[in-house]
Amino acid sequence: MIFRRTGSLLLAAAVTLTISCHQSGSGTPGTDTGAAYLKDTTSGIKTGGIRMIPINTPHGKFNVWTKRIGNNPAVKVLLLNGGPGLTHEYLECFESFFPAAGIEFIYYDQLGCGNSDNPKDTSLFDLSRSVEEVEQVRKALHLDKGNFYLLGHSWGGILAAQYALKYQDRLKGLIISDMMMSCPAYDQYAKEVLAKQLDPKVLARIQTLEAQKKFDDPEYMGLLLPHFYTQHILRRPLNQWPEPVNRSLSKVNAAMYVTMQGPSEFGISGKLEKWDITKELPSLTVPTLFIGAQFDTMDPRHMEWASTQVKHGSYLYCPNGSHLCMWDDQTTYMTGVIKFIDGINDGQQQVKL
């Protein structure tokens, strides 16, 4: 949702022999020693936590890539990247925070992304099929209601929410990061709020290029990067963007992005154009955290509202963040996410952040 190809645009060393902090409740992150957290419990040849998982699709069997970091029987967070079509790599900042909190987490490149198979079949880029893919990954990794947290960012937030609507009985907690629960509402916010924040001359030229369908024209990204991306995607000068972010952006599956999102940054026209689950939110009973940021491409007020519509909703606001607030409002983001997980592990269903 909000990422186009930009062209060429060890675990954190803080894990000690005994992980302090987060010592509340049986089986919560802090109850494991560092040695237990780092122990590889797999059998056979050790792969550094990497596992290729076979998944069945309407057009055959393919393999998706996963990598587990840490070992905590009570807390396992599966990360769903955005795009659609990006890779897990822009989420590598979690390695600087989750291990010190004793949180086991799993990177996962969705089908067509990163290290996973790319069937080059756009009919497989479909939300319902992706939900079933996540369920197959969950089963293969032996995640269950006693330990399974699903964290989805941007497009990954759509996928996580849609998964929860069908399979919330498998979840311990749900985290929706930087994604509105209505694509029509996002479309309206992009056109009526974000676009109008641009310099009128810049906006007019972008709209001209879009009308001419010149989305691959270097001028298009040449305008978006300094005028939009550095304001609403990651609030840093382009030459200071973190290497994992640039690495992930350089590998985006453009066919997947355009199929699902559409080619424009100011609106949505792909398969997700009409996606809207706002009326279904009250059916979500799993503890759910919504994350919004002041300068996000997504309206933070919508995410706050969404947290009031689910049965057990919590809300985390990142006042200095944009769409990648795990990078540009990092302390607020990571502290809040870890506090939410700790709270749910302690038996809370809503956590004040």
**Catalytic annotation, residues:** 154, 296, 323
How far apart, in whole angstroms, are the C-alpha atoms of residue 321 and residue 56?
A: 38
Please state the three-class secondary structure of the chain as a single string: CCCCCCCCCCCCCCCCCECCCCCCCCCCHHHCEHHHHHCCCCCCCCCCCEEEEEEEECCEEEEEEEEEECCCCCCEEEEECCCCCCCHHHHHHHHHCCHHHCCEEEEEECCCCCCCCCCCCHHHCCHHHHHHHHHHHHHHHCCCCCCEEEEEECHHHHHHHHHHHHHHHHCCEEEEECCCCEHHHHHHHHHHHHHHHCCHHHHHHHHHHHHCCCCCCHHHHHHHHHHHHHHHHCCCCHHHCCHHHHHHHCCCCHHHHHHHCCCCCCCCCCCCCCCECHHHHHHCCCCEEEEEECCCCCCHHHHHHHHHHCCCEEEEEECCCCCCHHHHCHHHHHHHHHHHHHHHHCCCCCCCC
Among 117, 159, 154, residue whose Cα is nearest residue 135? 159
List 76's β-bridge partners, or say none.
104, 148
* Torsion angle (degrees, nearest 10) of CA 179, 182, 188, 194: 0
* Of 337, 305, 341, the residue nearest 96 (C-alpha): 337
Across-strand partners of 79? Answer: 151
CA distances from 43 to 47, 49, 245 (A): 10, 11, 33
